[in-house]
Amino acid sequence: MRDREKVFIEELTQSKTSFGIGDDGVVLGDFVVANDAFFEGIHFKREWGSLDRIFKKAFLVNLSDIYAMNAIPKFALLTLCIPKDFKEARELARIFSAIAQGFGVKIVGGDTIVGEKLHFSFTILGEKGKKTLFRKPIQKGDFLAYLSPRSPLNLSNKQAFGKNLKHLKNALRFDQILKNSRFDFPILYPKMILAFNEIAKAGMDISDGIFAELARLAKLNSIDFKFFQPKGEWFYSPEEYQMLYALGAKKLKKAQNLARKFRHNLIVFARAKRGKYKKIKKNWHS
């Protein structure tokens, strides 16, 4: 199924009429713009949880793309398809307003239709920072790292990151979400992300899992990676919505301090080296 998407995107990317496809967002004038769709039956099932959680997730995932490029989300447009049997339109609007307000985002339009299933498609415009963070450059010798929140009970190096693979498998098997998983309700740390963006060489949002994102970074930067730790759950876990960073060797100390300040662990798991990266496992989405 993924082939059709691939063909479409490849064809567009090769055409002279496109640019910026492949990053989390695209720089247009003073804005960074990102666009993402959440479709019932593809990205979520309604049985997985309450409407507000599903919608919150979809919205936060999009805001996350904007922060990932070091921009501040300012405006949101929503294409909404409401199923015929849907009775919570007012509730949905309130949820949307409340989250938008919480992040200082203005809702500026969109399109609302009644159809068969529940779909959301967001377009978010963010105010470009002085520096924009892209997925390149990453060069030989740069360190690859992600951030994992320290839970109050877990101040050791044990990772809170990487549990979503289990949550997703459970969701697909039992049609339910484990409580308090980031998979159900991603937590954004905008201040921390913006601080890290300033010292990182490159970065991106982890949505399909580190293994899948690394393949993208390797291709884009023509590099390979040397791993410091065995590839476990942390490597395949999707939808963590944490950042994956490339850091120059000189910034590692500063990055460790920043992570501590924001009560996170900085997990430095690989270093860029010359070579061709071998993708190990297919994206779970396909």
Q: Which residues bind its own copies (CB under 8 A)?
A: 1-2, 4-5, 7-9, 11-12, 15-21, 23, 25-26, 28-31, 33-37, 39, 41-43, 74-75, 77-82, 84, 86, 89-90, 92-94, 96-97, 100-101, 105-117, 119, 121, 123, 125
Closest contact distance (angstroms) between CB of 4 and its own copies is 5
Q: 3-class DSSP state for residue 67?
A: helix
Q: Give the nearer residue to its own copies in terms of CB position, either 94 or 169.
A: 94
Q: How far apart are CA 265 and CA 244, in angstroms?
A: 13
Q: Which CB, 94 or 282, lies closer to its own copies?
A: 94
Please report how close the Cβ of residue 34 comes to its own copies at its closest, in angstroms: 7
Based on CB atoms, which residue is closest to its own copies, 108 or 155?
Answer: 108
Q: Which residues pair with 267 in a beta bridge?
A: 146
In the chain, the N- to C-terminal Cα span, in Å, equals 7
Peptide bond into 137 cis (omega under 30): yes
Report the phi/psi class of residue 245: left, alpha or beta, with left for phi > 0 and alpha for psi in -120 to 50: beta
Tell me the closest approach of the beta carbon of residue 165 to its own copies, in angstroms.
21
We find the least distance from the C-beta atom of residue 8 to its own copies, in angstroms, to be 4
Name which of 17 and 156 has its Cβ closer to its own copies. Answer: 17
DSSP code of 157? S
| Shortest distance in whole angstroms from residue 244 CB to its own copies | 19
Residue 79 or 176 with smaller CB distance to its own copies: 79
In angstroms, how far apart are the furthest CA atoms of the chain?
57
3-state secondary structure of 247: strand
How many CB atoms are closer than 10 A to CB 211? Answer: 19
Sign of CA dihedral 240, 70, 61, 149: positive
